[in-house]
């Protein structure tokens, strides 16, 4: 089975936090209990952002940059309280889902092999 990496907003499914309080889709993050939302890829000089996962604390993560693939995309985190994207280290791996204190990651070995990795957070 080949698992393609999400490259744009239209290819990335919405993600719900494990506690059901936050939702991300594309570059948008919503606080479902507060009724507030932010467009993290809005504003002057903003990069396209695709958020893939959001935790119970309302911190979403994803990739920012040119969706066309002409330039490398950088990992970012976006808190639901501000909607302001903060760059992460270039080598940071972004989870494709967050579930009950664990991050779900997809790694690729060549063109035709994907590995699913689930890592629990330490308390």
Q: What is the pLDDT of residue 91?
A: 87
Helix (H, G, I), strand (E, B) or coil at 25: strand
Q: Side by side, which strands form the sheet with 102-108?
A: 97-99, 102-108, 114-120
Q: What is the pLDDT of residue 21?
A: 95
Of the chain, the percentage scoring pLDDT greater than 90 comes to 37
Q: In this predicted model, which residue has the larger pLDDT, 1 or 8?
A: 8
Question: Confidence band (pLDDT; 50, 70, 90) for 73?
Answer: confident
Residue 2 reports pLDDT greater than 50: no
Beta bridge partners of 116: 106
pTM: 0.77
């Amino acid at each position: 089975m080949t698992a393609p990496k999400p490259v744009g907003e239209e290819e990335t499914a919405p993600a719900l936090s494990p506690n059901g309080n936050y939702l991300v889709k594309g570059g948008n993050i919503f606080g479902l209990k507060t009724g507030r939302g932010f467009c993290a890829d809005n504003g002057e000089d903003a990069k396209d952002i695709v958020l893939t996962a959001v935790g119970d604390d309302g911190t979403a993560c994803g990739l920012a940059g040119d969706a066309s693939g002409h330039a490398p995309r950088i990992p970012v985190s976006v808190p639901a309280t501000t909607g302001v994207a903060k760059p992460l280290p270039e080598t940071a791996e972004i989870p494709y889902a967050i579930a009950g204190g664990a991050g779900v990651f997809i790694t690729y070995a060549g063109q035709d092999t994907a590995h699913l990795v689930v890592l629990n957070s330490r308390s």
